[in-house]
Amino acid sequence: MRWWGWGEDGHSVPLPPTAEGLLRDELGADPANRKPPVAFEQVSVPDARLPDALRERLASAVRAENVRDDRETRIAHAVGRSYPDLVRIRSGDASSAPDAVVLPASAEQVAAVLATCADHRVAVVPFGGGTSVVGGVEPVRDGFAAAISLDLARLSSTVEVDRTSLTARLDAGLLGPDAERRLREHGVTLGHFPQSFEYSTVGGWVATRSAGQASTGYGRIDELVEAVRCVTPAGELGTKAAPASAAGPSLRELVVGSEGVLGVISEATVCVRPAPGAWRYEGWSFASFAEGCDAFRVIEQADAAADVNRLSDEDETRLTMAMGSTGSAIEKVGRRYLRMRGHEGGCLAILGFEGEEDEVEDRRRRTAGLIRAGGGVALGHRPGDAWRRSRYAAPYLRDELLDRGVLVETLETATNWVNLKTLHQAVRDALQTALSGRGTPPLVICHVSHLYASGASLYFTFLARQEEDALAQWRAAKTAASEAIVANGGTITHHHAIGRDHRQWLTAEAGPLGIEVLRAAKERLDPAGIMNPGKLLP
Ligand SMILES: Cc1cc2nc3c(=O)[nH]c(=O)nc-3n(C[C@H](O)[C@H](O)[C@H](O)COP(=O)(O)OP(=O)(O)OC[C@H]3O[C@@H](n4cnc5c(N)ncnc54)[C@H](O)[C@@H]3O)c2cc1C
């Protein structure tokens, strides 16, 4: 991945021409005033401080060529991929770069590296794809002799499928596309497609309780994991692969979502499904976000939800119509058509069904009946197909926006249905207020994208003209939104995890005793406190 953004050199997704005008008119951003990243040579990296004795022991654990401290590798592991991460790295600040990047190829090598680091009091940051958006992979050196990134890219050979039980054992370092391609060779799919799919890993998903775009249908990663193997400084914690168990509290649950603070997930056994032979993605329109939320609740509670269910609020719909291929697909359906049905200024929904041809058709028909009864108007397959084609485009577009001096960030939460609209309004208001006093009003948009019988997630994107102190501007917005989430009954994170950025709000969620329990588990598994310091625990 590019050191300053998303994707690889030579691949970008250009902003549609309509976006330039929209940025100028709505945000007061001047698209001509470019803010490109500094040249690579200008990036400032502290000197690596890896004592010789430590380097030798690491080299004997993983071989010398897999202990890397060249400038390029260290910069590539300095930050994750949140907006503040990108602001810093694009400005040439790689002060958080690890002293070295170590690449083990087996659980045994991971264990040897952890033992060495514990002896030398070196902080260890497990690194999957580095797509964390909550500061999860940023090394913290304070109080340690050095900090290393433990990059799991070489731990990526095993894909062992049990077609009878429909499970698969996957190495933690497998990237999304590799894992999925190899599962498809066996005719199965994990069905886990986060927007970061191209660059995130199996271990990263499990360590952050990730949710894919089709998680309503296939399940979140925490629902798909049957067993884990976790290498901790105190030894290996393995959990049993069984469909269900009453053998006390689930230790698997302790590891899932542990964000590298307890140990390194070296492999996961996951539930898979036969790969779908057919899919149908389609657009729907609702007169309002409230109407759409009610319809989504009805389909979910009737066990008739699609695999992908996305409902944009009014502002996100307006922006989607103005920018990008989904908008032009709706144009083809016709604004007049929507106006005639009282849906001008309404909300767009995308429903996606996957499975076998007949099953897809049957499910679709049943869902369509409920959606129509809830006020939905069908827009056909074009908006759905356009959404599916562009499902991984947003992070490339974010780089384009950063180039034009635009603050663009996302955050997410979830709550019960009864509270969904209140929370939506509260977070919107908080972001609007935090960002408005500071120049042109921001754009705050939101969608619902993961449905549960008792509630749903809310995913906010906010855009504003970037201020001189871009990090202070982001912090003000992030704090205001997080306070609003906590005060209005939402979870501080539905799928991005805690990392560094949500730590201060975890006590509100887990309670002081809950935090003590987590600390006690960490002290037992990681007595030297070397595992991913500064993350998860407040
Ligand atoms: C553009 C973009 C879109 C995104 N979309 C989604 C989305 O749709 N759904 C979603 O859930 N998230 C999303 N994310 C967030 C992120 O991709 C997820 O948190 C993902 O699960 C991280 O995987 P990774 O392999 O990149 O992990 P990393 O970023 O490398 O690590 C994340 C955390 O897990 C720890 N970790 C990583 N691997 C291991 C391991 N093997 N053992 C122990 N700890 C480990 C790290 O130390 C860190 O704390 C998105 C991020 C971006 C930038």
**Predicted confidence (pLDDT) per residue in 155-196, tens digit:** 999 999 999 999 999 999 999 999 999 999 999 999 999 999
pLDDT value at position 13? Answer: 86
CB 294, CB 203: distance < 8 Å:
no
Name the token pair of 249: 């509290």
Of 8-17, 20-29, 263-272, 332-341, highest mean pLDDT = 263-272
Pocket test for ligand 1, best of 103, 156, 196 (most atoms within 8 A of CB): 196
Q: 3-45, pLDDT tens digit by residue?
A: 999 998 888 888 888 888 888 888 888 877 889 999 999 999 9
Three-state SS at 287: coil
Ligand 1 site, CB within 6 A = 80-81, 125-133, 136-137, 152, 172, 194-196, 200-201, 203-205, 207-208, 210-211, 259-260, 264-265, 395, 495-497, 499, 532, 535
Vertex 154 angle, CA 528 and 141, to 5°: 30
C-alpha gyration radius of the chain: 23
Residue 93: predicted pLDDT: 98
The closest residue, in CA terms, to atom 44 on ligand 1 is 260
Please name every residue paired with 312 in a beta bridge, in sequence order, or none if there are none.
447
User: Which atom of ligand 1 is the closest one to the Cα of 129?
Assistant: 26
**333 or 218: which carries more pLDDT confidence?**
218
Query: Which one has a higher pLDDT value, 342 or 140?
Result: 140
Write out pLDDT tens, residues 297-331.
999 999 999 999 999 999 999 888 877 656 666 66
Nearest CA to ligand 1 atom 23: 204
pLDDT by residue (tens digit) across 442-470? 999 999 999 999 999 999 999 999 999 99
pLDDT in tens, 400-423: 999 999 999 999 999 999 999 999
Ligand 1 atom at shortest distance from the alpha carbon of 152: 41
Judged against a pLDDT cut of 90, whether residue 337 lies above it is answered with no
State phi, psi for 477 to the nearest 5 degrees. -70, -45
Q: Measured from the CA of 81, which atom of ligand 1 is nearest?
A: 53
- Closest atom of ligand 1 to 136 CA is 49
149 C-alpha to ligand 1 centroid (Å): 14
Choice among 55-69, 88-102, 326-340, 341-355 with the minimum mean pLDDT: 326-340
Determine the residue type at 520: A
Q: Whose structure tokens read 């996606």? A: 352
- Cβ neighbours around 158 below 10 Å, total: 16
Q: Is the pLDDT of residue 332 over 70?
A: no
Closest-CA residue to 319 (of 25, 119, 531, 14): 25
What value does the mean pLDDT take over residues 123-147? Answer: 97
Indicate which atom in ligand 1 lies nearest the CA of residue 127.
Answer: 30
**Cα distance between the two ends of the chain:** 30
User: How many whole angstroms from 256 Cα to the centroid of ligand 1?
Assistant: 12
Which long-range contacts does 24-32 make (Cβ < 8 Å, 24+ apart)?
A: 26/440, 26/443, 27/406, 27/440, 27/442, 27/443, 27/463, 27/464, 27/465, 28/439, 28/440, 28/465, 29/404, 29/405, 29/406, 29/465, 29/466, 30/404, 30/405, 31/404
Q: How far is the CA of 381 from the centre of ligand 1 (A)?
A: 31
Average pLDDT, the chain: 94
pLDDT at residue 15, as a whole number: 85
76: helix, coil or strand? Answer: helix
Average pLDDT over residues 83-109: 98
The stretches of 121-267 forming alpha helices (DSSP H) are: 176-184, 202-208, 215-218, 221-224, 251-255
Structure tokens at 94: 């790689």
* Half-sphere CA count of 314, side-chain side, radius 13 A: 13
pLDDT computed for residue 339 by the predictor = 67
Residues 85, 156: Cα–Cα separation, whole Å: 26
Q: Which residues contact 83 (CB under 8 A, 6 or more apart)?
A: 398, 402, 407, 408, 409, 474
Q: Select from 313, 391, 323 the least CA-distant residue to 352.
A: 391
Of the residues 180, 210, 392, 460, which should be mutated to test ligand 1's pocket, given the most ligand atoms within 8 Å of the CB?
Answer: 210
Q: How far is the CA of 171 from the centre of ligand 1 (A)?
A: 15
Q: Distance from the CA of 505 to the center of ligand 1, in angstroms?
A: 19
CB neighbourhood size of 173 (10 A)? 28
pLDDT number for residue 482: 98
The CB-based long-range contact list for 360-367 (8 Å cut-off, 24+ gap) reads 360/276, 360/278, 360/279, 360/280, 361/280, 363/304, 363/306, 364/280, 364/282, 364/306, 366/304, 367/299, 367/304, 367/305, 367/306
Indicate the pTM of the whole model. Answer: 0.97
**Cα-to-centroid distance, 200 and ligand 1 (Å):** 6
% of the chain beyond a pLDDT of 70: 96
Give mean pLDDT, residues 501-508. Answer: 98
